Chain A
Amino acid sequence: MRRSHSFLFCLGLLAGLCGLIFVHASLRRQAMKPGLLEKERLVRELGLTDICLSTEANYTRHLTQADFTTAFQDHPLSLEHFPSGTWIRPGPRSGYGNGQGIRPAKKHP
Chain B
Amino acid sequence: MAKGFDRQKNILDFTLSSLLRRKWKNLALASVYTLVVFLLASVMFFSYAIKREASILLANAPEITVQRLLAGRHSPVPLAYLDRIKDIAGVQAIRGRLWGYYFDPVVGANYTLVVPESGAPENGTIRVGAGVARARSLLAGDMIEFKTAAGDILELEAREFFSADSELVSSDLVLLSADDFLAISGGAADMVTDIAVGVRNPRELATVAEKIAARLPDTRVILREEILRTYDAVFNWRGGLLVIILAGAMLAFIILAWEKASGLGPEERREIGILKAIGWETSDVLLMKFWEGMAVSLSSFFFGLLLAYIHVFTAGSGLFAPVLKGWSVLLPEFRLVPYIDAAQVAALFFLTVVPYSVATIIPAWRASIVDPDSVMR
Contacts and interface: CB of A to CB of B under 8 A. Distances in A.
Interface of A: 2-5, 7-8, 10-11, 14-15, 17-18, 21-22, 24-25, 28-29, 32, 34-36, 38-40, 42-58, 60-65, 67, 69, 73, 82-89, 91-94, 96-100
B61 A42 contact: no
Contacts of B66: 97
Given A34-B165, A47-B62, A99-B221, A53 B324 contact: yes
Q: Is the interface of A mostly helix, strand, loop or mixed?
A: helix
B76 to A, nearest CB: 14
Interface of B: 9-10, 12-13, 16-17, 50, 53-54, 56-58, 60-62, 65-67, 69, 72-74, 95, 97, 101, 109-110, 112, 114, 116-119, 129, 131, 162-163, 165-173, 175, 194, 196, 209-210, 212-213, 216-223, 226-227, 229-231, 233-236, 238-242, 295, 298-299, 302-303, 305-306, 309, 313, 322-332, 334-335, 337-340, 342
Nearest to B49: A25
Nearest to A21: B309
A77 B231 CA distance: 27
Contacts of A29: 337-339
A7 B323 contact: no
B232 to A, nearest CB: 9
A3 B17 contact: yes
Given A46-B114, A83-B323, A96-B222, 18 more contacts: A4-B13, A5-B9, A7-B295, A32-B337, A43-B60, A46-B116, A46-B175, A53-B332, A55-B110, A55-B171, A61-B172, A64-B226, A84-B326, A91-B231, A92-B233, A96-B221, A98-B213, A98-B217
A50 B325 CA distance: 16
Contacts of B74: 65, 67
Contact of B220 (A5, A10, A69, A96): A96
A35 B327 CA distance: 28
Contact of B302 (A14, A38, A87): A14
A11 B300 CA distance: 10
Contact of A65 (B56, B67, B119, B234): B67
A47 B169 contact: no
27 contacts: A3-B13, A4-B10, A7-B12, A14-B303, A18-B302, A22-B342, A25-B339, A28-B313, A46-B116, A51-B231, A53-B168, A55-B109, A61-B110, A65-B67, A83-B324, A84-B323, A89-B233, A89-B236, A89-B239, A91-B231, A92-B233, A94-B209, A96-B209, A96-B212, A97-B216, A98-B69, A98-B218
Contacts of A55: 109-110, 131, 171-172, 328-332
A43 to B, nearest CB: 4
Contacts of B235: 87
B220 A97 contact: yes
Contact of A21 (B50, B172, B236, B340): B340
